[in-house]
Amino acid sequence: MTGIVAGKTAIVTGAGRGIGRAIALLLAAEGARVVVCDIGASLQGEGSDAGPAQETVEAIKKSGGQAITSTLSIAEPKNADVIVKTALDAFGRVDILVNNAGILRDVIFHKMSWSDWSDVINVHLNGAFNMSRAVAGHFREQNSGCYVHMTSTSGLVGNFGQANYMAAKMGIIGLSRGIALDMARFNVRSNCIAPFAWTRMIESIPAQTEAEKRRVAAFQQMTPEKIAPLAVYLAADAAAGISGQILSVRNNEIYLFNQPRPVRTIHRSDGWTPEKLQAELKDAFAGSFTPLERSEQVFNWDPI
């Protein structure tokens, strides 16, 4: 089979539905063999169902591709090793890891429970680490490999009731950057995508006012299939030289995000005291403070 990732083996987590499914299907269409990982849980992480993963595999096979399923939870480190071994046993190698799996437990912070926090961190961030670490040795030995991690503008910018999700998604950015730095010597790349797409993760957006209905209508045109081309491109050899970056897809727009760097500085040769800071810091930095905005306030125009 020909294609931009022909001959490669990809592992895609959360590939039974939504963005993960779209990425898995396009990877296969572009020549990759795919391990479709999905426990089939609810959006809140409850229950299990082998059906979604199997349906994705059947769709790939129907189109002439090669794929297998795994319904193991990536939140368990030992399962990550088993998933990678499954890929190696079936296809002989592993070249691409797409960390996409996630759950939501949206709740205002002062009411957030420990399980709301830890379960979200466990799937998104710990799961991404578990899978990334499990393939790292193989990437090193073959002197090649690619990570694509899903982050979110909820982490990059902000949103109400998502402190757990925001922390996990910002943690993934740090994880990706660390991998990119540590594994560059082995010709391994690692990047993040912040996707805008209508999936079950955002189907709960309220749509009562005209403004809310308009926002939902705009989201509905941003399908998971719009995200997949960038993920597949980043996984391909054609993207050599792109690593440690944060990109985003919003319908037909692709963004490159900046990353935190100093924007202003103040200095006193005699050092600082709280009183001196009181006199100078706020006025010096006020014009450069990052506003307390949400994603919808920053991306306040219609998707193109």
DSSP assignment string, 47-83: ---SHHHHHHHHHHHHTT--EEEE---TTSHHHHHHH
Q: Are the CB atoms for 180 and 244 separated by under 8 Å?
A: yes
Number of helices and strands (H, E) in the chain?
11, 8
d(CA 191, CA 294): 23
User: Residue 137's domain is classified under what CATH number?
Assistant: 3.40.50.720
Q: Which two tokens stand for residue 202?
A: 């955002």
**In the 8-state DSSP scheme, what is residue 122?**
I
Q: What is the pLDDT of residue 63?
A: 97
Q: Which residue has the higher pLDDT, 162 or 204?
A: 162
Q: Is residue 274 part of a domain?
A: no
Q: And the tokens for 269? A: 């040769």
Confirm if 167 and 175 have CB atoms less than 8 A apart: no
Confidence of residue 302 (pLDDT cuts 50, 70, 90): confident
In the chain the beta strands, taken as DSSP E runs, fall at 9-13, 33-37, 67-70, 96-99, 145-150, 188-196, 246-250, 253-256
Residue 271 lies in a domain: no
- Any domain includes 275: no
Tell me if 4 is assigned to some domain. Answer: no
Does residue 147 belong to any structural domain of this protein?
Answer: yes
Please give the residue range of the domain that contains residue 76: 9-259
The reported pLDDT for the residue numbered 126 is: 98
Q: What is the C-alpha to C-alpha distance for residues 66 and 56, in angstroms, rounded to an integer?
A: 11
In a domain, 288, yes or no: no
Number of separate domains in the chain: 1
Is 165 noted as a catalytic residue in this protein?
Answer: yes
Across the range 79-102, mean pLDDT stands at 98
CA 150 to chain centre: 1
Sole residue written with tokens 């961190």:
121
How sure is the predictor about 296, in pLDDT bands with cuts at 50, 70 and 90?
Answer: confident
Rounded CA-CA distance 34/54 in Å is: 12
Domain-located, residue 130: yes
Identify whether 280 is part of a domain.
no
Mean pLDDT, residues 220-235 taken together: 93
- 3-state SS, residue 246: strand
212 pLDDT exceeds 70? no
Give the per-residue pLDDT at 206. Answer: 55
| Burial zone of 74 (CB within 10 Å; 0-12 exposed, 13-18 middle, 19+ buried) | buried
User: Which residues, 6+ apart, have CB-to-CB distance to 269 below 8 Å?
Assistant: none
| Distance from C-alpha of 90 to C-alpha of 72, rounded to nearest angstrom | 16
**Model-level pTM?**
0.93
Region of 187 on the Ramachandran plot (φ > 0 left; ψ -120 to 50 alpha; else beta): left
Residues 179, 1: Cα–Cα separation, whole Å: 30
The answer on pLDDT for 183 being more than 80 is yes
Average pLDDT, the chain: 93
